[in-house]
């Protein structure tokens, strides 16, 4: 990628030697060796055809005699709107635009260099305490004030002088001693700067403390003098550049980072004097000039040190092909590398406007002399431009042609990023993108997502699966595109060929070549040719020392040397080939493992999000078509966005893709986890996995998958097919029975359909389907279904409902009673006595113990049958006990059951209190001509003897025929005389007589009177009673005052 446009000439024919250059706003200032200041201004011109504007610099004026001698360095201070001029070791401020009067900075005498740095700092007012000081609660806390602070740091002889301006106001000048003189200065941040003492000595200067600390770096990996001599013997032309005297250089590359040069290496240093990066920049020779235009580092390299790839050699046979030698540029080269990746991004040999640069092969004995030198690399502080000056090395040419000013303009950021992406340098594009702000690139966020995805694809190609998957997770990337990176065994119809990965992820579409094989062959030959030529060169250099060979490998020559050279013999090649092929299987498994990590990260998040929109694996088919009906292009078009911003259908597609891919991944690397995935609710696309599961005979997993998807018909059909291979009846039917037991009422039709073959095989085992404790099916349809198969199954089911489930519905009781009756009659008709007896016994027990069935309805069914005992029980339930007893006596002639019936319904003091007397009457006064009355006398006498207390003695005696002897009734008569009723009447009469006697006596006592006259005296106090309250004492009727009654009563008791 070339991030900069080809350099353009801004001005030419400058006859004076230019020693300094400064760009400020639309002005370009050149300081000459004669002390003159050349001022160029910007002129904008518009192209009439294209409409674009082109800026050029025009010489505005030349200020002669600004200083007496050479202007060594120029700068600008915005606070005072002045140029800073270094000449004759003195720093002077020249106000713009008049440049007068000059202000020499007398404290900065014997100056070698300076640097200007401006920044906005938050400074507390001078009369306010710092935040760390004691806070006065009575006063408001002061707030810092944003202040524009400008530093002018001057490196003088063994000291540093600091000039400061705050919002344009000059501050106190500070000085600090130094161990050496700073030949070059570069700021890192507002608090630190880098001093370059010499090409190998550097220090970090801390402004708050005004102290300097030396920088220690590893020794440069350069060859010794002997090695350099050997190298110069190899090619004298390269020696010219390598042996040039270096100068100290430092340039700020980023916030709190500076680049320093030591020989052919560049080190990145932080404010703590330590390296900020482990990597260094490697140049083929010490750079002559250094400048930074973020994020690029410009360096001018001497002629004969930078290699250029050779032109494609003519096609020849293998036997006649000769290795080609790499060529070197014969002029100075402006090399541009990225400060982010440290890779060379652009090489510009001088002259920049020549159609083809001159080169010579390595080893040329007498190379041509370089025609010009490049100096004064200066970057523009406001725009993406860099300036430099070229001067012919020949004095005559320099006098006639003069120097030229070149401008290197950076391409737009978007164009640079597009070129990096087109070249596949995604990591570099990301680094460049991260260094920009959104004001510079409005679509930064969208580009970053796209480039990160492309970089993840590149990492995936290189086998960095974990890094790639981490990126996809972080980006909430479309799982369809992630799965598409895998073979068809994992991705199915989503599989995409390797060459189409980049376009799939938004990258450039590769150019299609008709003759692919020819192109591949040519590329291979070119690469082998370059690698061999460079390798031969390094083999020759290796004789001079391994350090030089290592240096060249890291420099431009190393770009032609393969990191893994092709083995020279067939045996070695075979061994290496086998080693490379061996881990492919492991690599594939490792890639699938990382895919599983991606899918398991997405799966729970998708599940919770889908639950929020009321979509489950069971109802998905009701709202949206299956995944197999969706076009692959539509799946790839799903947005790469957080789950919260997706529509329900997009979420569903995500979940289907994730679970289907997870199933296939488990099938490859973790088959044991398939069952757990299929058992839980999942979004697998059944059409894509069922054939595979069948072929692998993973029927259990397939059944679980069908069940999870609600495809119960397929699951049950699968179980039926599996049962055909089983010989044991339980193994044959039990899986289907257990599956049907778990289906709910909504699947009642499917249950009935799939249970039919099980009932045909074994009714008793099939009956277990409907008495499961897991779910409760609607009883009425189940009873109808079972009755159609076998009424006895319906009887069992109704018994289960009434006895275990304790159903209270009269409908079930009536139906069960009717089934008992019908099955009894059917069995009797068929002559199945065992079934008839069993059903009739159940019917009688049911009629006797159950009181929730419809009696009238059942009696209507029984009335036309000869089931007399059942009829008797029902008549009894209707309160028609006489008819029930007649059936027992006359039809069944079962006197014991008749007597048991009476005992069962007898309740003293109720309407059934005379039931025994009713039975006795049926015995002794028969109404049916079908029985012999004489045969009923003995049961009647037995009834009288056993239940005499429950019989009315008088009524019973009235019913007895005249011929019955007293001996036959002895026990009855004795019991009748001893019965509690007789004793109760006697006691009642005695009590009545006693009560009458007491009542008469009481009346006599209450009829006595006393007469109180005026002369009657109280026998206690012997006073006249008069009208006082009196008390009468028995038994003789003495009369006393009421208050004397107790004393008189005691006197009576004493007598």
- E strand or H helix that includes residue 241: helix 236-242
Residue 162 tokens read as 């600091």
Residue 550 is classified by DSSP as H
Helix count and strand count (H, E) for the chain: 38, 34
The pLDDT assigned to 572 comes to: 40
Helix (H, G, I), strand (E, B) or coil at 808: coil
Q: 159: part of which helix (H) or strand (E)?
A: strand 159-166
Quote the pLDDT of residue 529: 43
pTM above 0.75, yes or no: no
What's the CA gap between 194 and 259, in Å, rounded? 9
84's CB contacts (< 8 A; 6+ apart) are 73, 74, 75, 76, 77, 91, 92, 93, 94, 114, 116, 152
- Could you tell me if 600 and 680 are in contact, meaning their C-beta atoms sit under 8 angstroms apart? no
The structure tokens 């009846």 sit at: 729
Phi, psi (degrees; rounded to nearest 5) at 619: -110, 5
Q: Is 196 exposed, middle or buried (0-12, 13-18, 19+ CB in 10 A)?
A: buried
Q: Where are the beta strands (DSSP E) in 350-384?
A: 359-361, 372-379
State how far the alpha carbon of 985 is from the alpha carbons of 591, 956, 957, in Å.
109, 20, 20
Burial of 263 per CB tally in 10 Å (0-12, 13-18, 19+)? middle
250 contacts 268 by C-beta, under 8 angstroms: no
Cis peptide before 295 (omega within 30 of 0): yes
Q: How many residues does the chain have?
A: 1055
Question: Do β-strands 327-329 and 359-361 pair in parallel, antiparallel, or remain unpaired?
Answer: antiparallel
Please give the distance of CA 1055 from its chain centroid, rounded to a whole number: 115
pLDDT at 178: 94
* Backbone phi and psi for residue 158, each to the nearest 5 degrees, phi listed first: 55, 30
Q: Report pLDDT for 560.
A: 39
- Per DSSP, the three-state class of 135 is coil
User: How far apart are alpha carbons 702 and 711 in whole angstroms?
Assistant: 11
Q: Residue 801 corresponds to which tokens in the numbers above? A: 């409902």
Q: Left if phi > 0, otherwise alpha if psi is -120 to 50, otherwise beta: which for 73? A: beta
Q: Report the DSSP beta bridge partners of residue 201.
A: 198
Separation CA 515–CA 517 (nearest Å) = 6
Q: What angle do CA 989, 994, 997 make, to 5 degrees?
A: 130
* Rounded CA separation 20/94 (Å): 15
Rounded CA separation 829/820 (Å): 14
Q: What is the dihedral of CA 671, 675, 676, 681, to 10 degrees?
A: 130
CA dist., res. 407 & res. 334, Å (int)? 12
State the burial class of residue 427 (Cβ atoms within 10 Å of its Cβ: 0-12, 13-18, 19+): middle
- Look at residue 174 and give its three-state secondary structure: strand
Local mean pLDDT, 10-residue blocks, the chain (1055 residues): 86 89 88 92 69 72 90 92 93 91 91 94 68 57 86 95 92 94 93 94 94 84 39 41 69 91 92 92 91 90 79 46 68 89 88 71 57 78 80 84 89 88 86 84 87 91 92 92 91 90 87 49 44 42 43 41 42 41 67 91 88 76 75 90 89 89 86 77 78 81 80 88 86 89 89 91 90 86 90 87 81 82 83 84 79 72 75 78 81 83 85 82 78 76 77 75 71 66 66 87 76 89 90 84 91 80
Q: Which two tokens stand for residue 722?
A: 């599996």
Cβ 491 vs Cβ 484: under 8 Å: yes
**Can you tell me the distance from the alpha carbon of 304 to that of 67, in angstroms, rounded to the nearest whole number?**
38
Cis bond upstream, residue 673 (ω within 30): no
Please tell me the predicted confidence (pLDDT) of residue 53: 59
Sign of CA dihedral 327, 328, 329, 330: negative
d(C-alpha 375, C-alpha 393), whole Å:
12
Residue 199's φ and ψ, nearest 5 degrees, are -60, -15
Q: Which helix (H) or strand (E) element contains residue 121?
A: strand 111-123
Q: How far is CA 100 from the centre of its chain?
A: 68
Token pair for residue 195? Answer: 């001093």
Cβ contact 557:284 at 8 Å: yes
Q: How far is CA 197 from the centre of its chain?
A: 56
- What's the rounded Cα separation, in Å, for the pair 650 and 644? 11
Q: Which two tokens stand for residue 828?
A: 């009797």
CB-neighbour burial class of residue 225 (10 A; exposed 0-12, middle 13-18, buried 19+): exposed
Contacts of 167 (CB under 8 A, 6+ apart): 79, 147, 148
DSSP state at residue 424? T
Largest CA distance in the chain: 187
Cβ-contact 606, 651 below 8 angstroms: yes
Mind giving me the DSSP string for 565-614?
Answer: PPPSSHHHHHHHHHHHHTTHHHHHHHHHHHHHHHHHHHHHHHHHHHHHTT
3-state secondary structure of 965: coil
Report the alpha-carbon distance of residue 40 to residue 37 in Å, rounded. 10
Sheet of strand 192-198, all strands in order from the earlier edge strand to the far edge: 184-189, 192-198, 201-206, 211-214
* Residues contacting residue 580 through CB under 8 Å, at least 6 positions apart: none
Q: What is the DSSP letter of 141?
A: P
Q: Are 949 and 936 in contact (CB under 8 A)?
A: no
Strand partners, 485: none
């Amino acid at each position: 990628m070339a991030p900069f446009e080809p350099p353009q000439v801004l001005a030419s024919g400058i006859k004076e030697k230019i020693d300094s250059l400064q760009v400020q706003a639309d002005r370009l200032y050149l300081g000459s060796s004669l002390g003159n200041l050349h001022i160029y201004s910007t002129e904008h011109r518009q192209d009439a055809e294209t409409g674009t504007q082109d800026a050029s610099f025009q010489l505005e004026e030349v200020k002669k005699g600004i200083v007496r001698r050479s202007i060594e360095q120029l700068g600008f201070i915005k606070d005072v709107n002045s140029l800073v001029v270094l000449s004759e070791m003195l720093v002077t401020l020249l106000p713009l635009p008049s440049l007068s009067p000059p202000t020499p900075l007398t404290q900065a005498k014997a100056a070698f260099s300076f640097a200007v740095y401006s920044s906005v700092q938050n400074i507390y007012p001078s009369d306010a305490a710092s935040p760390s000081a004691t806070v006065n609660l009575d006063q408001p806390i002061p707030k810092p004030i944003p202040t524009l602070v400008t530093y002018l740091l001057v490196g003088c002889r063994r000291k540093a002088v600091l000039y400061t301006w705050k919002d344009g106001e000059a501050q106190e000048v500070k000085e600090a001693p130094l161990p050496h003189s700073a030949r070059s200065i570069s700021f890192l941040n507002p608090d630190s700067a880098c001093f370059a003492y010499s090409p190998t000595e550097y220090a970090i200067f801390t402004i708050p403390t005004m102290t300097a600390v030396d920088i220690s770096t590893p020794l440069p990996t350069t060859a010794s003098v002997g090695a350099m001599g050997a190298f110069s013997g190899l090619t004298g032309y390269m020696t010219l550049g390598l042996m040039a005297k270096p100068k100290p250089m430092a340039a700020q590359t980023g916030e709190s980072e500076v680049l320093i040069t030591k020989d052919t290496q560049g080190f990145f240093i932080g404010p703590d004097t330590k390296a900020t990066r482990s990597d260094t920049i490697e140049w083929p020779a010490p750079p002559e000039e250094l400048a930074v235009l973020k994020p690029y580092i410009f360096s001018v390299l001497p002629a004969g040190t930078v290699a250029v790839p050779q032109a494609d050699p003519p096609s020849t046979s293998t036997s006649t092909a000769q290795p080609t030698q790499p060529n070197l540029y014969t002029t100075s080269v402006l090399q541009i590398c990225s400060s982010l990746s440290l890779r060379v991004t652009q090489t510009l040999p001088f002259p920049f406007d020549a159609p083809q640069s001159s080169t010579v092969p390595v080893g040329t004995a007498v190379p041509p002399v370089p025609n010009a030198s490049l100096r004064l690399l200066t970057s523009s502080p406001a725009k993406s431009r860099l300036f430099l000056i070229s001067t012919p090395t020949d004095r005559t040419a320099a006098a006639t042609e003069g120097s030229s000013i070149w401008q290197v303009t950076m391409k737009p950021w978007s164009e640079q990023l597009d070129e990096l992406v087109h070249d596949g340098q995604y990591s570099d594009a990301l680094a460049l993108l991260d260094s920009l702000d959104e004001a510079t690139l409005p679509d930064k966020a969208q580009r970053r997502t796209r480039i990160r995805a492309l970089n993840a694809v590149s990492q995936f190609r290189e086998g960095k699966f974990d890094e790639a998957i981490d990126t996809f997770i972080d980006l909430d990337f479309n799982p369809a595109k992630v799965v598409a990176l895998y073979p068809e065994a994992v991705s199915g119809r989503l599989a995409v060929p390797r060459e189409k990965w980049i376009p799939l992820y938004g990258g450039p579409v590769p150019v299609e070549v008709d003759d692919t094989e020819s192109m591949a062959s040519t590329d291979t030959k070119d690469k082998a040719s370059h690698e061999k030529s460079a390798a031969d060169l390094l083999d020759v250099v290796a004789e001079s020392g391994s350090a030089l060979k290592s240096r060249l490998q890291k420099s431009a020559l190393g770009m032609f040397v393969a990191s893994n050279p092709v083995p020279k013999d067939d045996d070695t090649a075979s061994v290496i080939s086998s080693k490379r092929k061996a881990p492919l299987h492991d690599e594939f498994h490792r890639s699938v493992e990382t895919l599983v990590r991606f899918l398991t990260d997405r799966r729970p998040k998708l599940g919770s999000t889908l639950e929020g929109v009321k979509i489950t694996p069971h109802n998905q088919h009701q709202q949206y078509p299956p995944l197999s009906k969706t076009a692959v292009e539509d799946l790839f078009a799903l947005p790469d966005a957080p789950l919260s911003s997706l529509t329900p259908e997009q979420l569903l597609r995500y979940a289907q893709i994730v679970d289907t891919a997870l199933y296939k991944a488990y099938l490859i690397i973790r088959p044991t986890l398939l069952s757990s995935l299929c058992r839980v609710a999942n979004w697998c696309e059944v059409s894509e996995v069922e054939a595979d599961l069948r072929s692998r005979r993973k029927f259990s997993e397939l059944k679980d998958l069908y069940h999870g998807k609600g495809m119960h018909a397929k699951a049950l059909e699968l179980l039926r097919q599996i049962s055909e291979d089983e010989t044991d009846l339980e193994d044959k039917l039990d899986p289907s029975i257990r599956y049907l037991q778990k289906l709910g009422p909504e699947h009642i039709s499917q249950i009935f359909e799939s249970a039919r073959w099980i009932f045909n095989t074994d009714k008793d085992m099939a009956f277990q389907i409907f008495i499961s404790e897991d779910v409760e099916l609607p009883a009425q349809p189940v009873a109808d279904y079972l009755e159609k198969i076998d009424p006895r199954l319906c009887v069992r089911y109704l018994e289960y409902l009434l006895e275990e489930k304790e159903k209270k519905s009269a409908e079930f009781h009536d139906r069960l009673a009717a089934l008992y009756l019908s099955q009894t009659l059917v069995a009797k008709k068929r002559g199945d006595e065992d079934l008839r007896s069993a059903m009739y016994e159940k019917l009688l027990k049911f009629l006797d113990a159950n009181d929730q069935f419809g009696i009238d309805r059942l009696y209507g069914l029984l009335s036309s049958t000869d089931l007399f005992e059942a009829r008797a029980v029902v008549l009894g339930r209707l309160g028609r006990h006489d008819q029930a007893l007649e059936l027992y006596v006359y039809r069944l002639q079962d006197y014991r059951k008749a007597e048991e019936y009476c005992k069962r319904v007898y309740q003293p003091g109720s309407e059934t209190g005379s039931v025994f007397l009713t039975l006795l009457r049926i015995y002794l006064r028969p109404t049916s001509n079908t029985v012999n009355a004489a045969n009923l006398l003995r049961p009647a006498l037995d009834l009288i003897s056993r239940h005499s207390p429950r019989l009315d003695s008088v009524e019973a005696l009235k019913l007895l025929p005249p011929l019955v002897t007293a001996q036959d009734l002895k026990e009855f008569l004795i019991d009748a005389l001893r019965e509690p009723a007789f004793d109760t009447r006697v006691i009642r009469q005695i009590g009545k007589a006693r009560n009458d006697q007491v009542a008469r006596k009481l009346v006599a006592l209450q009829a006595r009177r006393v007469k109180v006259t005026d002369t009657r005296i109280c026998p206690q106090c012997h006073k006249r009673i008069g009208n006082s309250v009196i008390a009468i004492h028995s038994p003789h009727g003495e009369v006393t005052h009421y208050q004397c009654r107790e004393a008189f009563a005691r006197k009576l008791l004493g007598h």
